[in-house]
């Protein structure tokens, strides 16, 4: 707003008639096509901002964001419950185990052997409800579903 008189004087001094090129630009901007393109740009920017905000929100609440903090190498587990939160298992062997995930961290299994019966246990909450639903719908085979457990939350 304050620069308009300045630029008008500069254009006039240089002998440039801004109406020759500014008027067609303004007409194009306010045409139906221009409004659609403008709405698309505003929509894309809003969508990108909303996506960034959603990722930021998810990262503060998601357990999967926490990095693996403990490496376990070449260990054997047999007929026990193995906590997986925050652990990276490398070349480990699991036989007849129940994997327990509290939802507190990420986990990895690298070159591991898993044999025998296996199960999953989680704290109750959304994941526990999902597991119960999948068990009810018989999404898992019987041996696996039989070894799924949902434990009460501590907090």
| Per-residue pLDDT reduced to its tens digit, 70-119 | 999 999 999 999 998 889 999 999 999 988 887 777 888 999 999 988 88
Enumerate residues 6+ apart whose C-beta is below 8 A from 106.
63, 64, 65, 66, 67, 68, 86
The pair of structure tokens assigned to 104 is 């507190």
- Say what the pTM is: 0.49
- In the chain, the number of structural domains is 2
112 in the same domain as 38: no
Q: Structural domain of residue 9, as residue ranges?
A: 4-63
Q: Are residues 145 and 88 part of one domain?
A: yes
The whole-angstrom separation of Cα 83 and Cα 23 is: 69
pLDDT classification of 148: cutoffs 50, 70, 90: low
């Amino acid at each position: 707003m304050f620069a308009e008189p300045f630029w008008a004087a500069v254009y006039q001094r240089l002998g440039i008639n801004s109406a020759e090129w500014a008027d067609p630009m303004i007409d194009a901007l306010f045409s139906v096509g221009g409004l659609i393109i403008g709405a698309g740009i505003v929509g894309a920017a809003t969508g990108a901002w909303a996506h960034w905000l959603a990722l930021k929100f998810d990262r503060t609440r998601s357990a999967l964001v926490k990095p693996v903090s403990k490496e376990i190498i070449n260990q054997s587990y047999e007929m026990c419950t193995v906590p997986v939160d925050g652990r990276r298992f490398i070349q480990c062997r699991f036989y007849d185990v129940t994997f327990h995930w509290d939802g507190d961290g990420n986990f990895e299994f690298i070159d591991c052997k898993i044999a025998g019966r296996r199960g999953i246990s989680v704290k109750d909450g959304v994941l526990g409800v999902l597991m119960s639903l999948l068990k009810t719908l018989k999404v898992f085979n019987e041996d696996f579903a039989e070894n799924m457990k949902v434990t009460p939350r501590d907090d």
